[in-house]
Each structure stands twice: as C-alpha cells, then as structure tokens.
Amino acid sequence: MKLIQEQEKRIEAWMKKIKHKIVVMSGKGGVGKSTVAANLAIALALRGRPNLVGVLDADITGPSIPKILGVKGQTLRAGPPGIFPAIGPLGIKVVSMDFLLESDDLPVIWRGPLKSSAIRQFLSDVAWGELEFLIVDLPPGTGDEALSIMQLIKGIDGVIVVTIPSDVSQMVVRKAITFTRKLNAPLIGVLENMSGFICPKCGAEIDIFMRGGGERISRDLKAPFLGRIPLDPRICEDSDKGVPFIIEHPDSPAAKAFMEIVEKVEKFLGEKEESVK
Amino acid sequence: MKLIQEQEKRIEAWMKKIKHKIVVMSGKGGVGKSTVAANLAIALALRGRPNLVGVLDADITGPSIPKILGVKGQTLRAGPPGIFPAIGPLGIKVVSMDFLLESDDLPVIWRGPLKSSAIRQFLSDVAWGELEFLIVDLPPGTGDEALSIMQLIKGIDGVIVVTIPSDVSQMVVRKAITFTRKLNAPLIGVLENMSGFICPKCGAEIDIFMRGGGERISRDLKAPFLGRIPLDPRICEDSDKGVPFIIEHPDSPAAKAFMEIVEKVEKFLGEKEESVK
C-alpha cells in the first residue's frame, strides 16, 4: 500500500511539470488512434521549442507508436532520476512497451493488474521532465489501460475520440465518449478517420468505410466534431516507413485536414487556459 | 474457490457437447476479426443441419457480433438449464455482452478480473447445447479475454489469426501467433484481410493498406497462410446492415476468397478428426 502511495506521489510530481495532458482513445481498434497520436505529436513539436512533446504508448499488448514515429529499436536507459524516454523525431520523448521487448514476435501475455502496473511505472518511474504536451495513446476498449490512465493522471486537459465512419465502429466508439464523461475528463471532440477515399487513378470518390459516422456520433451525443481525414494509401505507407505523413506529404488532403484538426485542438487548450486564468 | 471449480466443471461439460471450437483472434484491432468470425459462422451454418453453429463474442468492452449478424436488440433469457443464447440467422446461437447493455452509448468500464468473470459465465452458465461449431471472436490484445478463453476451453481445435497487410499490423499480429503457440493451441493459419482494393469506377488496383503482409508473417513464423480477402466497400455496408456479405454478395471476389478460406478451415478440422481416429 505504501508503495502505491509513493508511486502516486511521484506521478503527481511528474504530471505537474507537464502543461497539457491529452488522451487519444477510441474504444474501437484499428481506427488510426496511434497514427493520430503520432502525427499530433509531430504537429505540436513543429513549433520548434525544446522539451515540447512526450508520447506515452499505453497499448501494452499491441504497441505501435515507436514504429510509426520511426524510433523502433531504441532501448530505455535508466539513471538516477528514473527511466529516460527514447528520443524521437523533433526531440519527441517516447515511452512504449515495445522498447522493452526483445523481438516483435514476443507477445505480452498479461492480465489486467500487470498491464495497469506497467502503466503506473511508465507514469511514476519515467523521467518525463518539463514538457508542454504529453499525448497518451490508449489501446482499444474501456478496460484496465484506459481506466488506469484516467485515474492516475490528474487534470487531463482533454480527450480526442477517433472513429471510422461505419455503424459498427460508431456503436463501439459511443461507449468511449460516455466513458470519458463518466470519468469526468473533458472531451476535445470526435475525429472521423478513414473517411472516404479518392481513387488516385480516376478521381472517383468511394466510401470504403461509409461516411458521416463521426458527425452522427457528435450530433447524437452532443460532442464537438473535430473533422474528417480521408483514407490515403500514403498514410499507411508512411506509418510503415516510420515517417509521419504530415511531414512526408504535407500537401495531401489528409495532412491538410489533420492540421485543421490540430488547430482546433490548440484552440481548445488555449481556451481552457484562458478560462482558468 | 469451490465456486470456480464448479464453474470449470460446468464449462467442461458444455464444451464436451461441442464438436469443434474455433478461435478468431488478431492481437490488433480493426482488422476485421468480427466480420471474419460472423461470416465463418454463416458459411458453416449454410450446411443446413440444426444445432450447427454458436458464436461467442468475447469482446466485452467493444462487442460487435450482434450488429454484424443482424441480431441486435435481442435479450438473453434464462431457464433451468442456464442462459439461452440469442438465435441469429440460420439458427446460429449468439452470446455477447451487447445483449446485456441497455444502450449502445453505455460503456463497460471493467478491469480484467471482471471481464474474465464475464467470459467464465458465458462459457459456464450459457446453455449452448449440442453444437458442431463454436466460434469465439476475441478482442484485440493478448490479455485477459484471450487468456481466459485459451485456458478455459480445453481442446480448442484451432485459431485463425487475422491481419491487414501493413507492417504496423504485422508487428502486432506476430505476437498473436506466438501467443497461440505459447498456449499450445493449434494454429489454423493466417488470413490477410483488407488486401488490395479495386476501384469500382475504373478497375485500378490500389493497395490502401499495402499488400502481402499476411504471407510475410506466415513465411517468417512458419504458419499456414489461409488466403487474402480484398477490401470491398460492400463488406462494411453489409456489416452495418447486419447481413453477412457472403450471403448478400456471394459472387463478389471477397466472398469467393472467403469461401476458399472456409474450405481450408474445414479441411484443417477434417484432417484433425482423421488423425485422432
């Protein structure tokens, strides 16, 4: 018990040094949460100040942030203040279970309490240092990882909920919005990913995963709508190469749509700051 | 402790009445596990005998099987032998957390032990009856739900691992294969979903999520390759409408590819039966 209290004190101390804590979640898997989290980190880091952005990959059994940010293969070193995060592009600090696994083939066969304890350590024992933004990438579901993050990080600034347009996805993602509200975390808004596809050959617009689902959730649940990002094969290609698509393809409609969403997120954080003053 | 032992005895008794137990997993979310599980159930149920197929939706926080099989809104009734599954198309028996939730907006905010206990009850207290096939649809990850299913169901016939072609997906799905092996469950093979897209307007082939990742995993990890299913907007549309695409669009390349995979699964189960005799 004493250990847990000490741990929570350390978490509180670290989190106080971080100006904005943003959570990216969905409830549903495979909707592009990690791609959104990674590109949001890059967009914020592009401001160019030092010690700007950290990313915590809270997906213990399926970590993919290091691959998408191109920092795979790094290991976490430990020093007197704690474990040092890996350093990604633009100085982004990254912590992920992936750094602790010897090979991609190795599964993390852990029940909830162990996963929660890993998240506790990522928050309490990592020397995050002073940061302007910490972005937490949650795994699918509204279970252990999501609960631990929401309960351990006091003063989360906001949650971005990612969905794809389909009804099946909406059904699950609605739960994430109620989850956020039940845990009293501010909702930044809903982002519709993989929204429509434009054939690169003929220009035809095809709704592979339907369209408009994100807006429907926003309307039904009275949640802000952040925007939609079209499907683009280059997004997947860039993630596989470990180069964020907003850097690799800044002029693509997807990157432009994403940057508009980032502006809304920044506005949300700014507004929140104002209202506290 | 006694309760758990009694529960496990009941699980053993129910499972003995089911000829083949098949698990659909991935490790990764959003690769189409539930669509594969639902359509596999339909393909097997098309044989037309009674008491053929059951589907256990083991995704506690993000259940989508009832929606895809068009049985949403049903409730589970209880009688002297236990809880009766909902009855889906072609007499398929379905059990899912979704039937226990009053609204789609309601999240299941449960840590691991509660999720595992729900899975225990789905196996011990549901009157599955005599079945030829039970298909279990696992959520993403290699945590509580996956572990509980693998440990509670003795004599799993085989595991189908679903991936999309991208490297990011492969990285996570590899873990599911090692997971299956570590838990001594036979691997039926790897299925590559969302593999290539043919523009319905101009016929151009576009690899939205790359291509060949499933085969690469199979080769690297010496696992059988079951085949690839192309992306088709009608698959998402059909899932949203609650009509399995192999019934709604039997002549589509996706349905044909899927039926070839079902044949391989049946062959695997048949071969297994032969070798036991």
Contacts of A223 in chain B (CB under 8 A): none
- pLDDT tens digits, one per residue of A210-221: 989 999 999 999
Q: Is A273 on the interface with B (CB under 8 A)?
A: no
Residue in chain B lying closest to A172 (CA) = B62
Are B62 and A175 an interchain contact pair (Cβ–Cβ within 8 Å)?
yes
Which has more pLDDT, B273 or A170?
A170
Could you tell me the two tokens for A253?
């409609």
For B140-179, letters b (16+ CB in 10 Å) and e give bbbbbbbbbbbebbeebbbbbbbbbbbbbbbbbbbbbbbb
What pLDDT score was predicted for residue B276?
54
CA-to-CA distance for A269 and A272, rounded, in angstroms? 5
pTM of the full structure: 0.96
CA–CA distance, B167 with B225 (Å, rounded to integer): 17
**What is the C-alpha to C-alpha distance for residues B69 and B91, in angstroms, rounded to an integer?**
11
Sign of CA dihedral B219, B225, B230, B234: negative
Q: What is the pLDDT of residues A124-158, one digit of tens each?
A: 999 999 999 999 999 999 999 999 999 999 999 99
Confidence of residue A2 (pLDDT cuts 50, 70, 90): confident
Chain A window 23-42: which residues touch B at a Cβ cutoff of 8 Å?
27-31, 34
Cβ atoms < 10 Å from Cβ of B198:
15
Cβ contact, residue pair B115, A112, below 8 Å: yes
For residue B193 the two structure tokens come to 């979903």
**The pLDDT of residue A275:** 60
User: Would the pLDDT of B247 be above 80?
Assistant: yes
DSSP string, B246-260: HHHSTTSHHHHHHHH
Alpha carbon distance B175, B28 (integer Å): 9
Q: Which of B154, B111, B199, B145 is nearest to B33 (CA)?
A: B145
Average pLDDT of the residues in B48-58: 92
CB B139 within 8 A of CB B65: no
A242-271 per-position pLDDT tens digit = 999 999 999 999 999 999 999 999 999 997
The predicted structure's pLDDT at residue B134: 98
User: Residue A274: is its pLDDT beyond 70?
Assistant: no
Scanning the structure block, which residue is given the tokens 């926003």?
A218
pLDDT for residue A23: 98
Measured distance CA(A168)–CA(A29) in Å, rounded: 11
The answer to whether residue A277 scores a pLDDT higher than 50 is no
A102 and chain B in contact, CB less than 8 A: no
Residues B171-220 pLDDT 10s: 999 999 999 999 999 999 999 999 999 899 999 999 999 989 999 999 99
List, as ranges, residues 213-272 from A with C-beta within 8 Å of B. 221, 231, 233, 236-237, 239-240
* Residue of chain B minimizing CA distance to A141: B61
Q: Which of residues 196-215 of A touch B (CB under 8 A)?
A: 197, 199-202, 204, 206-210
User: How high is the pLDDT of residue B3?
Assistant: 87
Q: Is B119 an interface residue toward A (CB < 8 Å)?
A: no
Specify whether the CB–CB gap between B53 and B131 falls below 8 A: yes
* DSSP conformational letter for A143: S
The residues with which A53 forms a beta bridge, in sequence order, are A133
A44 pLDDT more than 50: yes
Amino acid at residue number B130: E
CA of A237: which chain B residue's CA is closest?
Answer: B210
Q: Which is nearest to B176 in space by CA: B72, B61, B43, B31?
A: B31
Find residues 72-91 of chain B whose CB sits inside 8 Å of chain A: none
pLDDT score recorded for residue B50: 81
User: Per-residue pLDDT tens for B103-120?
Assistant: 999 999 999 999 999 999
Q: State the pLDDT at residue B277.
A: 46
pLDDT digits (tens, 9 = 90+) for A83-104: 999 999 999 999 999 999 999 9
Q: Is residue A50 predicted with pLDDT exceeding 90?
A: no
